[in-house]
Structure 1
Amino acid sequence: MYKLLIYSLAGVLLAGASTAHALQVTLDRTVVPLNETVRMELRSNYSQDLDQVDLSAVQRDFDIAGSSSQSEFSMVNGRTESVQKLTLTLVPTAVGEFQIPALQHKGRTSDPLSIKVVPAVAPPGQLQDQSIRVEAELDKPTALVNEQVIYTFRVIYRIDLNSAEITKLNVPGAQVEALPEANFQRSINGQTYQVVEKRYALFFAEAGNKTIAGQQLSAVIGASRNRFAFGFGLNSLAGGKQIKLGAEPLQLDVKPIPPSERGKAWLPAQSVELLERWSSANDNAVVGQPLTRSIEILAKGASGEQLPAAAPGSVDNLNSYPEKPAFTSEPWHGGIAGKRIDTYALIPTQAGLFTLPEVEVQWWNTQTGRAEVARLPARTFSVAAAPAGGPKANNGAASTATDLLPAAGKPEPGVAATAAANATQNSQWRSIALFAMAGWLLSLLALAGWIIRLRHKLLLPGYVNNNANNNAHNNSFGTAVHN
């Protein structure tokens, strides 16, 4: 009877040990809409490489959108226990009933799990207790092609959100520019809510009725953090409920370019301004010496890539060499502000007065609904003759490599000067290198002479006898110590 009791206790202990060391796989829910994700968690207290588990059978019916691993430590009866976790975010690929097959790892096998994928449903915009809600809006119901439209998505909440994520805004056929995120508080029915506001500037290249799908929020609410858990993400949260809320889709009517503006450079914006900047040499212009002129276009409500070139026009006896334009887009409180900078190297070929023509940029004022023109006034400046021995103007004759005027196929202004500076610097370094090499050769010769003299000295009879006497003295000294 005692033997039977001992065997029974041993069986219970072995079963408990087997369960404690099993590979456990769980799902956060067993029924999931097609347009939502499901979280699968693998747990083990015997292995730290759960990411090596073969998941090919799971990937037949689900895509893996993300994964995270973590180690947790807990105290049980004064003993520290370690648990390894691997959390996977699964995305259903079809409607139906599926099975997560038994997974195997290092001789352990998990239990199979069943899951049902139902047709996609639109997530609600708020929880029933109104503790969390999301909303989206456009700053205008209609817009012209390439006109800026501001899309705003807000998360309004008064309870803690854990592992909150907002889906990426996907608008086919539109250029999307993210604007800075805003965080503030709002009072609703005497209660204080936190608000997270994400804004985007949209630019549609084609006319038509557009549908903008609302962004979605996924988060865990009502979760408590395990004080013995270490790591990041969902694994360090105990309990909690995963929620998903989505904003309603929005409609936008994008109208074509007005007939009066077709065939012209089309630039819809809230404001457009032209500026110019000159190099200091403009005050003392001399024949053959380059001047640098930069024309800047600043537009609010347009991105830098939308801005056209500000053509300065041509002037006789004034050669113009354009550089590659620079584009930037920066946020401001009204959306996006774009800048385009066109830089020109101007080289006069004769002395006298020069008048640069007026520069114009046509644009469409989206606030007034009218076409307008931004202007730079004409500019007149004088050019003095080149001093004797100075650079000469290039009037079409063959030029040399030292000429200031670049001909077709030559580098842009500034490249020749840079090349000359580099050549001078290379010449200086070449001299230093030759001097260092000569010093090294002299040192080598001195070393060779010393070696020859030393070898000659070693061959002298007296030197050999002295070494022999020293060796005998050393041997006798060693013998005395040992005795």
Structure 2
Amino acid sequence: MKLYHYCLYSLAALCCSSALAVQVTGNVDVQSLDLGNSLTYTLTADANLNDDALDIRPLFKDFIIGNLQITHPSTTNTSWAIPLQPVSAGEITIPALKIADNESQPIEITVNDANSNQIATTDQSSQEQTEALQPVHLLESQISAESAYKDELLTYTVTMAKRADPENRPPVIPQTEGLKIIPVGDPVEDKEIFADHYQETLAYNYIVIPEKTGALTLPGATLASDNKQISDEHIIEIKSVPSSFHGTEKEWLPSAGITIEDRWEPQTSYTKTGQPLTRTITLTGINNVSEQLPDIPTPAIADVKVYRDSEKNEQQYQNGMLISKKTIKQVFVPEKNITFVIPEIRLNWWNTISDRPQIASLDERKFMASIIATNTKPVASSAATIKTSSNVEMWRSLLPKILFIAGGIIALLTPILAILWYYRKALRMRYERYQLWKTLKRCCLTNDPLLAYQALLVWASQRCAQPFTCLEQLPFYTQVKAELDELQMACFSVVTKEWNGRKLLRRLAHISIVKPKPTPKSPTDKFDKFIC
């Protein structure tokens, strides 16, 4: 009897749960259509749901989606009308779509290749039928500039519809004589209006470096799955080394920014004979590959042994810029009691932003080496024995205390080190931001408007985590408009005007940077981006 009641209760609970679940029905206005035509897929739920309750992402693979219409016929129903255009012929399944806690049933449709059963009567009609079979547009490309100097880095972006290649293979970039093409970073996925339809895209980024002057043609990229799909070609005018460049043609280095810094260990101008001095030189280039950064020669100094300890190259693509670093370690070991000088370092480079020559340098530095005096006075053996035994007794009594203190120090340092390790990225970003601020401050204090202009854009880009190419894009532009206008006048005005960087520096020290937040759209506007 108990088993009977238990079965009745289970059956009643099952019926109630099935009754509470949202019921979804789907239908299409046509079961068979020709390739290139559209159908309307209608889904109806017996509940008043939000407009975003339907997930249409499974449709992106086989269909181009038009402008979705959402209606609420009654307080207990929600309906979605979705225009669909198949991208290929054959038997195609409209997949199950999830709505709330239920999903629709798959629907089979037939897509006919209308052009396969027709006989071409003229060459013109055959060409029209062939064009009708091809997708309208699946690939496009963009170059950062149509004119550049020899060895100047350009950014080349190829965007393709994700459905163009089911295996997500990268586009084919033809090799061009005189142009060095290097892929950088991972492809960027997005959902955007592409080829007049809302669809998923993949953007591939490349670095293009011209290796000779003249007019160079960059052919269009093609799809790995269809070499008939080709993007536009680009003609780039490559300029030679300008006569106003200070260095030789072998030293030619175009860049958006070159900085050189060094660090000494130990940080003192006095050393001992035979004690090594380690110098770490860091050379940073913006929009340069590591191979373009010049080598720093090892100086030859009399009575000082000099050798190179190590060299490290790094590069990172971020915010549309390629940042390369070369780190060199040099070791100086004085062999006599002398005073010696480390010579200065000067690097000539061409600023591609201000279009003028500049010099990155490290000043010379002087050091004094001295000999360590040794005590050669004889000591009685008995006194030495007594002193040794007393030292042993002292260390025996101190050893437990030392171990206890060392254990306490380790216990205190462990959580501090763990916290520093956890926040290492934030600390590194703060350090980089501080270094960029020091560079901007130095440029302002020396009243160099062009260097300050460049340093301000680089600092603001790192501070706000987005690239800026002009002062008007800065989020704090309105707060320091007068000072920034003076900076632009000093940089780009025909009339030479003296510029005071301290005024801008004082204003920048008191600004408040607020990152703009995107305004969220209301649920009713979620599918307004779809286009038939």
- Please give the range of the TM-score, normalised by the shorter of the 2 chains: 0.3 to 0.5
TM-score (ref. length: structure 1): 0.45
Structure with higher helix content? 2
TM-score, normalised to structure 2, is: 0.41
